[in-house]
Amino acid sequence: MVHTTRPRGVAGSTNSTAEILLVHDIEHLGTRGQIVRVKPGYARNYLLPHGLATIATEENKKMVELHKEKLKAIEGSRIRELTKIADAVSKYSATIEANATADNALYGSVVAKDISDALKAAGHKIEAEHVKLEGAIKELGMYTVKLRLHEKVQTEVKVWIVPSASGV
């Protein structure tokens, strides 16, 4: 009788934990590229077969470190580019025409998309999700609006809400 032996664990594991490299973000466990320790059965029966993780070999660890360095360089250049945009926008003052009553109340409201559109028309790459209003603007006047282009890049822009030239 021939006995075949099965591997008793996951490579890189001890009897109680396996060291794995996450391929995807997994809630309550870690983020992509992170090396975590889990129970060998969880790794063997769920994470590895579903392609959510791989064995944390030295080669895989080196590849992850190289990838993280590349991502850090890309993020750094992105932040520099967003900072340039933020500097340009902070020196700009947007004017938005809106229909208003005699007592300066708007017939509608000015929202983030309106401000974004006005800034785009002036050549600034600002999306509506970058505009952080504390509520819709409902009166004529000058407002200082916060822009958040990135968690590390924030600025403000002056927005003038003026009555439309066509009148009501």
pTM: 0.64
- Let me know if residue 102 belongs to a domain: yes
Query: 93 and 150 share a domain?
Result: yes
pLDDT of 26 higher than 80? yes
- The pLDDT value recorded for residue 165 is 74
Query: 30 and 101 share a domain?
Result: no
Give 20 or 3, the one with higher predicted confidence: 20
Q: How confident is the model at residue 9 (pLDDT cuts 50, 70, 90)?
A: low
Closest CA to 157 of 122, 131, 129, 120: 131
- The pLDDT value recorded for residue 166 is 65
- Let me know if residue 137 belongs to a domain: yes
Buried b (16+ CB within 10 A) or exposed e, 67-87: eeeeeeeeeeeeeeebeebbe
- Let me know if residue 107 belongs to a domain: yes
- Let me know if residue 147 belongs to a domain: yes
Please write the tens of the pLDDT for every residue from 111-164: 999 999 999 999 988 999 999 998 889 999 999 999 999 999 999 999 999 998
Domain count, the chain: 2
Query: 47 and 113 share a domain?
Result: no
| Spatial separation of the C-alpha atoms in residues 28 and 78, rounded to whole Å | 29
Q: How confident is the model at residue 64 (pLDDT cuts 50, 70, 90)?
A: confident
Q: What is the extent of the structural domain holding 114?
A: 84-163
| Spatial separation of the C-alpha atoms in residues 37 and 56, rounded to whole Å | 10
CATH at residue 137: 3.10.430.100
Please write the tens of the pLDDT for every residue from 68-120: 899 899 999 999 999 999 999 999 999 999 999 888 889 989 999 999 999 99
- Let me know if residue 1 belongs to a domain: no
Helix locations, 91-137, DSSP H = 112-121
- The amino acid present at 109, given as its one-letter code, is S
CA distances from 51 to 37, 42, 47, 55, 95 (A): 16, 13, 6, 11, 52
108 Cβ contact list (under 8 Å, min separation 6): 98, 99
